[in-house]
């Protein structure tokens, strides 16, 4: 009797190299990616094309793109199990982005909440790229016929638009694209800013943000300064104790303990004991990642081989989709 081969579902995700990777990036996304790499066929992209919707220092963008790949690997992403590449190395992203832009309504893009927020942050540089960013994101996903897209709540709207574009195109030209679904893993920790626990931890808020490559003394300083409240009870209460709840989330993600175990551990001890303990847990979690990243960054030939092989594999998959799209819309074959 023949054994039935079960095809793995495909996942696509990416992070912009517009700043250093953060503790939030690791706990909310990359740690989950590592857990998914055996169960799914995964493509993880360094989305440098998305990064330039806001002005970037060219030398810094190049360095961060390669450093981000090193950090992906140091966090546990295996280049033999995942396709890892730099977005601009696969020109099919831009090509499909243009086609999909012709199947996306102006009104749909006008409703994107991230465009509204970023337009306020960068009022002196509101570009068409910032406006059409979600179309390129749709191209990123649909190019690889991804089944699932691991995203945070702030990107769910973009995936919904991607689904709408795919269904619209499929409706006109017959089935062309896999219609993807948002995938929010249960184990993902939503890490908030240490300075303002109402906001997500972001690289644009360096004082409230812990970076993967921070030195231990900088990590400890940031946690000792973390915003809490005027009580002294270490209890999880997102409404009334947002700062402490965030620190408990981080501590549990770093140590593997449950909230109940963490609350019991610090019962009656106060914040003067609790905050440094969270800092120390994060220091020990980040130490091997930082050290391995630094080691990998010294091996330029290895890193180049990873992103070149990743791009070649990605281009092979991308070409299959793009050639089908071009044929269906009426372009002459190359």
User: Any idea which residues carry the catalytic annotation?
Assistant: 118, 200, 203
Residues near 307 by beta carbon (within 8 Å), at least 6 away in sequence: 66, 69, 84, 85, 86, 89
Q: What are phi and psi of 3, to 5 degrees?
A: -80, 130
Which residue in 112, 96, 94, 101 sits closest to 48, CA to CA?
94
- What CA–CA distance (Å, rounded) separates 131 from 115? 6
For the four alpha carbons of 260, 266, 272 and 276, in that order, the dihedral sign comes to negative
Q: Which residues pair with 42 in a beta bridge?
A: 11, 82
Are 178 and 186 contacting, i.e. CB atoms less than 8 angstroms apart? no
3-state secondary structure of 260: helix
Which residue in 136, 123, 13 sits closest to 77, CA to CA?
13
Ranges of H-type helices in the chain? 23-25, 31-36, 48-51, 58-74, 92-101, 106-110, 113-121, 128-142, 156-173, 216-224, 242-255, 259-265, 271-297, 300-329
Q: Which tokens go with 151?
A: 């995203």
Are 236 and 263 contacting, i.e. CB atoms less than 8 angstroms apart? yes
Task: Fill in the DSSP letter of residue 30.
Answer: I
3-state secondary structure of 114: helix
């Amino acid at each position: 009797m023949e054994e039935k081969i079960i095809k793995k579902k495909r996942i696509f995700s990416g992070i912009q190299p517009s700043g250093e990777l953060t503790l939030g990036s690791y706990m909310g996304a990359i740690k989950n990616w590592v857990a998914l790499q055996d169960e799914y066929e995964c493509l993880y992209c360094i989305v440098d094309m998305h990064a330039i919707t806001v002005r970037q220092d060219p030398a810094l963008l190049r360095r961060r793109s390669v450093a981000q790949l090193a950090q992906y690997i140091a966090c546990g992403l295996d280049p033999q199990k995942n396709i890892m590449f730099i977005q601009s190395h696969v020109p099919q992203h831009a090509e499909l982005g243009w086609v999909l832009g012709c199947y996306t309504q102006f009104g749909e893009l006008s409703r994107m909440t991230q465009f509204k927020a970023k337009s306020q942050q960068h009022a002196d540089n509101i570009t068409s790229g910032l406006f059409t960013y979600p179309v390129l994101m749709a191209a990123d996903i649909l190019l690889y016929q991804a089944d699932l897209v691991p995203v945070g709540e702030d990107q769910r709207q973009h995936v919904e638009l991607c689904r709408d574009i795919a269904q619209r195109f499929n409706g006109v030209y017959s089935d062309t694209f896999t219609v993807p679904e948002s995938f929010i893993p249960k184990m993902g920790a939503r890490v908030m800013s240490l300075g303002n626990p109402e906001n997500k931890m972001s690289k644009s808020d360096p004082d409230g943000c812990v970076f993967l490559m921070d030195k231990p003394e900088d990590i400890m300083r940031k946690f000792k300064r973390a915003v809490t409240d005027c009580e002294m009870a270490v209890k999880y209460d997102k409404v009334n104790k947002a700062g402490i709840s965030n620190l408990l989330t981080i501590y549990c993600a770093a140590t593997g303990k449950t909230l109940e175990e963490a609350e019991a551990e610090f019962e009656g001890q106060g914040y003067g004991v609790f905050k440094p303990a969270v800092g120390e847990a994060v220091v020990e979690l980040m130490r091997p990642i930082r050290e391995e990243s630094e080691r990998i960054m010294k091996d330029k030939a290895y890193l180049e081989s990873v992103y070149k092989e990743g791009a070649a594999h990605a281009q092979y998959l991308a070409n299959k989709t793009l050639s089908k799209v071009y044929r269906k819309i009426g372009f002459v074959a190359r």
